[in-house]
Amino acid sequence: MKTINNFEEAAANELLVNENHSEINTTDNLASSACLIRLSGVHKRYQLGKTTVNALNGVSFSINRGEFTAIAGPSGSGKTTILNLIGCIDDPTSGTVLVKGKNHQFMKDREASIFRNQTLGYIFQNFNLIPVLSVYENIEYPLRIGKIKIDRHTKEKIYSLIEDVGLSSYTKQRPDKLSGGQRQRVAVARALVCDPDIVMADEPTANLDHNTGLEILNLMQKLNRRLGTTFVISTHSEMIIEKSRRVIRVLDGKIESDTGEDYEYQNKTDYDTVDSERATCSA
Ligand SMILES: Nc1ncnc2c1ncn2[C@@H]1O[C@H](COP(=O)(O)OP(=O)(O)OP(=O)(O)O)[C@@H](O)[C@H]1O
Ligand SMILES: [Mg+2]
């Protein structure tokens, strides 16, 4: 599999890949199972010329469906690397990453691309909206790329998401007329439009002031509760860390602490076994 090192580049790439297929099926995400993400003994090494960077050094944790988890740690500690692995964008050097019980390393590129599109939504620090599209069109865009039929039902869903994120008066507005917080609200709605199991957010409030960051956090938590979507957020923000139900702290590529799986979501009917036996990435 082609290694893509940048989270945003990966999502852009994903949009291009998905222009060429039509098998996106949003109803698949309704499958109910608690354990969504499982990292076991994960190491990630990068080779920079003659220098080896040990970005992750034996990381293990599970995240259940419906959890709201912050991945915290200083710059360079491995947060984005963890998100890239969960996002099936990059492969571990050793160890196993299972998402919905599946190891994307066993998938063909096209299968992995469809799996990502059905399973994951992304929110970025820099919002990554398309400047020439309106609020409505930006949110609709992943559906168009996924060749999902835009019918009355999907339109209602988009308008309902726009209402959820508090932008009903801005439907036709282009991003350059919106504030940073409003842009991030559009990005939150866009991340949810394909009904993903997991929304991954890499430093989603880093470009926002405290109060606007808090609004976006509240919005993500409201949607997490209402839709049951699992959120995994990489952050430096103490405000997000304080308010997240679960916090995994990373230091030098290792788990420093983990407040633990949210008790509300521990009734495992478990995806864990699907690819476990085949998951034999050697160290
Ligand atoms: N593509 C790459 N090639 C080489 N080294 C990399 C690459 N990506 C990350 N690293 C290194 O891996 C380590 C972890 O990086 P990562 O981006 O995961 O940190 P982070 O916790 O997200 O940091 P930040 O808070 O600054 O975003 C760092 O030492 C980084 O330099
Ligand atoms: Mg990072």
Task: For 140-193, write each residue's pLDDT tens digit.
Answer: 999 998 888 999 999 999 999 999 999 999 999 999 999 999 999 999 999 999
Task: Please report the pLDDT score of residue 63 as a whole number.
Answer: 96
| Cα distance between residue 209 and residue 55, in whole Å | 29
- Flag whether pLDDT at 8 surpasses 80: no
- Three-state DSSP at 69 gives strand
- Flag whether pLDDT at 278 surpasses 70: no
Which residue did the predictor score with more confidence, 31 or 255? 255
Cα 80 to averaged position of ligand 2 atoms, centre (Å): 4
| Cα distance between residue 144 and residue 155, in whole Å | 12
Nearest CA to ligand 1 atom 6: 46
Instruction: Select from 155, 126, 152 the least CA-distant residue to 139.
Output: 155
Instruction: Select from 118, 159, 121 the least CA-distant residue to 137.
Output: 159
Percent of the chain scored above 70 by pLDDT? 81
Reported as half-sphere exposure (CB side, CA atoms, 13 A), residue 257 has a value of 6
Tokens of 29: 């995400």
| Cα distance between residue 34 and residue 32, in whole Å | 7
Give residue-wise pLDDT tens across range 133-148.
Answer: 999 999 999 999 888 8
Task: Please report the pLDDT score of residue 268 as a whole number.
Answer: 43
- Flag whether pLDDT at 229 surpasses 90: yes
Q: Residues with beta carbon inside 6 Å of ligand 1? A: 5, 46, 48, 53, 55, 73, 75-81
Q: Which ligand is nearest to the CA of 73?
A: 1
Cα 152 to averaged position of ligand 2 atoms, centre (Å): 39
Domains of the chain (ranges plus CATH)?
7-22+35-278 (3.40.50.300)
Task: Please report the pLDDT score of residue 263 as a whole number.
Answer: 55
